[in-house]
């Protein structure tokens, strides 16, 4: 870990040691906005940020095998990773002065929030191997939004270390039975959708979440024009993509926090937008014509689900979705 100074803000917790030849990893950005506690004075400017990331849970899931037109490669196995980022931010208050340059005490505020990600594993993985996930913070950006709230963007790298020398397995295989996966998909996109579900205030408090079921439905699709090219990362754009709106119907079963510990069921919905790269033509038929005559079908699949209770009224849910596009 090291300190990085940027625009008068000192960032602590960034891993500066380069990772070389790491085969199983993914990089993602975690956004967070939090407002300081009511009793805290207003923010003049941020002085320093301390960040720490940790893994809290992981799950090995079965997925499809194939490489999408966009270049996303799936081997049949992913590890879903859940973690937490703890932030402590020191700032100068502006409660007692009119100038941002005045010398006033430094206050601190803290926040903790969850992140989810997934790492693609090798196709020939030994399921008796030990899979150990880890996380490294690559960059931090914190900005004052107003006198009370701070925006944070943290770039992290998730790494899955595989050891075949052990007969233990520290992540369970999750085979979602809600849908049968497509065989050898060609036009598809795997994407993680995460949300915080807030129960109605009138409902009984949550003591323990028993189960969460999710049913995805396609609510809208739209064909759009995109750029054509290949990025240095390997992402391929064909000039066309389907913008797919997926409606997630969710059923939450939990034990109520009351003497009889009644089992409660809560239903809710969420939606997400997923883009799937499609070709400009199939079998000498251009994609616009195929779209207009209804020869493009889109099917969503749930590959994995992770959830945890945040407080008595809030559940954090993350769903691994696969959207498959077929041209008939």
Q: Is the pLDDT of residue 100 over 70?
A: no
CB 285 within 8 A of CB 306: no
Structure confidence by residue, pLDDT tens digits, 105-152:
689 999 998 899 999 999 888 877 888 999 999 999 999 999 999 999
Tell me which residue of 99, 101, 93 sits closest to 148, measured CA to CA: 93
Report whether pLDDT(189) > 80: yes
User: How many Å apart are CA 78 and CA 75, to the nearest integer?
Assistant: 8
Judge contact between 278 and 236, C-beta under 8 A.
no
Is the pLDDT assigned to residue 153 strictly greater than 90? yes
Query: DSSP class of residue 181?
Result: P
209 vs 106: which has the higher pLDDT: 209
Q: Do 316 and 116 contact (CB within 8 A), yes or no? A: no
Query: Buried b vs exposed e over 84-109: b needs ≥16 C-beta within 10 Å?
Result: ebebbbebbbbeeeeeeeeeeeebeb
Q: Which residues pair with 295 in a beta bridge?
A: none
* pLDDT(229) > 90: yes
Distance CA 110, CA 87 (A): 6
* DSSP state letters, 214-276: EEEEEEEEEEEEEEEEE-TT--EEEEEEEEEEEEEEEEEEEEESSTT--EEEEEEEEEEEEEE
Report the pLDDT value the prediction gives residue 283, as an integer from 0 to 100: 86
Return left, alpha or beta for 144; rule: phi > 0 is left, psi -120 to 50 is alpha, else beta: beta
With beta carbons less than 8 A apart as the criterion, state whether 52 and 14 touch: no
Nearest to 216 by CA among 130, 75, 89, 319: 319
Closest CA to 158 of 260, 23, 312, 302: 23
Average predicted confidence (pLDDT) for the chain: 88
More confident residue, 237 or 182: 237
Mean pLDDT of 157-166: 79
Pairing of strands 106-120, 9-14: unpaired
3-state secondary structure of 288: helix
pLDDT of residue 164: 64
CA distances (Å), 269 to each of 165, 178, 195, 198, 221, in order? 44, 17, 11, 11, 18
Where does 118-206 have alpha helices with state H? none
Structure confidence at residue 170 (pLDDT): 46
- The C-alpha atoms of residue 17 and residue 103 are separated, in whole angstroms, by 36
pLDDT of residue 179: 52
Collapse the DSSP code of 289 into the 3-class scheme (helix H, G, I; strand E, B; otherwise coil) and give the result.
Answer: helix
Structure token digits, residue 116: 């989810």
Distance between the two ends of the chain, CA-based, in angstroms? 53
pLDDT category of residue 173 using cuts at 50, 70 and 90: low
Which pLDDT value is given to residue 175? 52
């Amino acid at each position: 870990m090291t300190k990085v100074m940027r625009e008068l803000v000192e960032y602590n917790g960034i891993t500066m040691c380069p990772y070389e030849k790491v085969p199983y990893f993914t990089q993602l950005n975690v956004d967070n906005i939090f407002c300081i506690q009511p009793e805290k004075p207003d923010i003049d400017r941020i002085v320093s940020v301390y960040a720490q990331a940790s893994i809290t849970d992981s799950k090995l899931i079965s997925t499809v095998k194939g490489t999408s037109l966009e270049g996303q490669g799936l081997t049949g196995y992913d590890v879903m990773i859940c973690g937490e980022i703890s932030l402590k931010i020191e700032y100068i208050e502006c409660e007692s002065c009119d100038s941002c340059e005045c010398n006033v005490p430094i206050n601190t505020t803290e926040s903790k929030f969850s992140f989810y990600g997934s790492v693609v594993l090798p196709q020939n993985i030994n399921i008796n191997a030990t899979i150990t996930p880890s996380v490294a913070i690559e960059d931090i950006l914190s900005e004052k939004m107003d006198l009370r709230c701070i925006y944070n963007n943290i770039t992290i790298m998730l790494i899955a270390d595989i050891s075949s020398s052990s007969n233990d397995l520290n992540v369970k295989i999750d085979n979602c039975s809600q849908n049968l996966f497509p065989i050898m998909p060609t036009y598809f996109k795997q994407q993680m959708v995460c949300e915080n579900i807030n129960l109605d205030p009138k409902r009984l408090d949550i003591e323990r979440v028993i189960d969460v079921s999710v049913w995805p439905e396609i609510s809208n699709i739209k064909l759009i024009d995109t750029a054509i090219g290949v990025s240095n990362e390997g992402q391929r754009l064909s000039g066309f993509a389907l913008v797919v709106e997926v409606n997630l119907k969710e059923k939450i079963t939990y034990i109520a926090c009351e003497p009889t510990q009644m089992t409660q069921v809560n239903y809710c919905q969420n939606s997400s937008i997923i883009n799937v790269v499609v070709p400009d033509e199939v079998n000498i038929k251009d994609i616009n014509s195929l779209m207009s005559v209804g020869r493009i079908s889109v099917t969503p699949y749930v590959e994995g689900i992770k959830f945890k209770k945040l407080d008595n009224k809030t559940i954090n849910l993350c769903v691994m979705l696969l959207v498959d596009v077929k041209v008939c």
